[in-house]
Amino acid sequence: MNVYKINKYHIAAENADVAFQYFIDKTTVLDDTYYGQMDEGEEDQFIINIKRLTSKEMNSKFITCCWDGCELCEGKDEPVLFSPNEIINEKINFPCIICREE
């Protein structure tokens, strides 16, 4: 199982095609996109970035348990961190979003 970072989402999937289709189906692709008023003839682009995480990134702990307190981090100063591999080992159904960067 691999993890693909598509814009701000980390998606665990078998391959990039599956991850991208899941991203399109399950997210609002235009998150954080605002064009406002456009002049006549004006053109703009919307870019979707896709990256497969490296083995080192898969083992790096950067996914927080929560944002505002939960059983895992109760009584601690900071949230508990997990790696993508740790999350994948707990999941059963794929593809799935394992985290979203804020």
**pLDDT, position 13:** 97
**pLDDT, position 55:** 95
Mean pLDDT of the chain: 88
Burial category of 55 from C-beta neighbours within 10 Å (exposed 0-12, middle 13-18, buried 19 and up): exposed
User: What is d(CA 82, CA 58) in angstroms, rounded to the nearest whole number?
Assistant: 10
Task: Give Rg (Cα) of the chain.
Answer: 17
Q: What is residue 54's DSSP assignment?
A: P
Q: How do residues 19-66 score in pLDDT, each as one tens digit?
A: 999 999 998 766 666 667 888 998 888 788 999 999 999 999 999 888
Domain range annotation of the chain = 2-31+50-100
Q: How do residues 64-98 score in pLDDT, each as one tens digit?
A: 888 777 888 888 888 889 999 999 998 889 999 99
